[in-house]
């Protein structure tokens, strides 16, 4: 099979940053022909010593216009993929599928006034990609980014989130973003405490945002722990906020690639 016939391209690792013993970020080169929409994911492959390839799905953190690709990963204890991935060093090869996948993209919502982005852990990745583009800032009056982790040290990309509203191409739009960090296992100044579902049920999330969750105005994206997604969907459904399907417009979009 020739390189052009293969379903993947061979890329190089440009940077690896360890955030905690279980979290790390990586940056790779990008094939000029690789296209994606903010919010989508790619399949990454690593070769095992045996020569076989292990594949996993990762959302892009980087913007569609960047010349590189950024990813955010958790280390799974004894995980077949992350064990191999964590051994890689700058300059090593990483395989990336030629096609991007996923529907956690802004075109899921033809309308809406307020965009809520609710993430746990590495589920933050697609939202950073979306926020590094222009469309969300142009389309929505308010953008609420909710990022939930267990411990404060797991709050990643804080400098990126802080500088986003100051970017030149967002001049006059940066005020639309409200960032609400959530830490579930410890009390941290400036962060909410508790599971996202509880913060919605007791009204704390809406109070912190200064905004109501309503079927008319709210468009909500969920990404992260599958249990969080399922539980939050049920809480939102009780408020008449329903899943956006291909043939049925709704207020909630989710990504399930775990």
For residues 235 and 197, the answer to whether their CB atoms sit within 8 Å is yes
Confidence of residue 5 (pLDDT cuts 50, 70, 90): low
Residue ranges, CATH 2.40.30.10, the chain:
8-97
Tens of pLDDT, residue by residue over 193-251, are: 999 999 999 999 999 999 999 999 999 999 999 999 999 999 999 999 999 987 888 99
Look at domain 106-254 and name its CATH class.
alpha beta
The CATH number corresponding to 8-97 among 3.40.390.10, 2.40.30.10, 3.30.70.330, 3.40.50.720 equals: 2.40.30.10
pLDDT of 204 reads 98
Residues 102-132 pLDDT 10s: 999 999 999 999 999 999 999 999 999 999 9
Q: Give CATH 3.40.50.80 domain extents, the chain.
A: 106-254
Global pTM?
0.95
Integer Cα distance of 136 and 160 in angstroms: 17
Can you tell me the mean pLDDT for 45-67? Answer: 94
């Amino acid at each position: 099979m020739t390189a052009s016939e293969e379903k993947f391209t061979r890329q190089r690792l440009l940077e690896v940053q360890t955030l905690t013993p279980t979290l790390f970020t990586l940056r790779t080169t990008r094939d000029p022909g690789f296209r994606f929409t903010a919010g989508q994911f790619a399949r990454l492959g690593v070769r095992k010593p045996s020569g076989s390839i292990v594949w996993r799905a990762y959302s892009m953190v980087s913007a569609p216009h960047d010349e590189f690709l950024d990813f955010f990963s958790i280390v799974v204890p004894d995980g077949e993929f992350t064990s191999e991935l964590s051994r890689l060093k700058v300059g090593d090869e990483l395989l990336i599928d030629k096609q991007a996948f996923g529907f956690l993209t802004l075109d899921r919502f033809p309308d809406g006034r307020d965009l809520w982005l609710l993430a746990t852990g590495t589920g933050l990745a697609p939202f950073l990609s979306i926020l590094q583009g222009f469309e969300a800032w142009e389309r929505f009056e308010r953008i609420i980014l909710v990022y939930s982790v267990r411990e404060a040290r797991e709050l990643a990309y804080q400098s990126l989130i802080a500088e986003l509203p100051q970017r030149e191409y967002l001049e006059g739009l940066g005020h639309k973003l409200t960032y609400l960090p959530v830490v579930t296992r410890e009390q941290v100044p400036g962060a909410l405490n508790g599971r996202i579902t509880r913060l919605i049920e007791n009204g704390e999330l809406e109070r912190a945002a200064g905004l109501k969750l309503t079927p008319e105005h709210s468009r909500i994206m969920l990404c992260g722990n599958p249990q969080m997604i399922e539980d939050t969907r049920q809480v939102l459904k009780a408020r008449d906020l329903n899943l956006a399907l291909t043939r049925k417009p709704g207020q909630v979009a989710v990504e399930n690639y775990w």
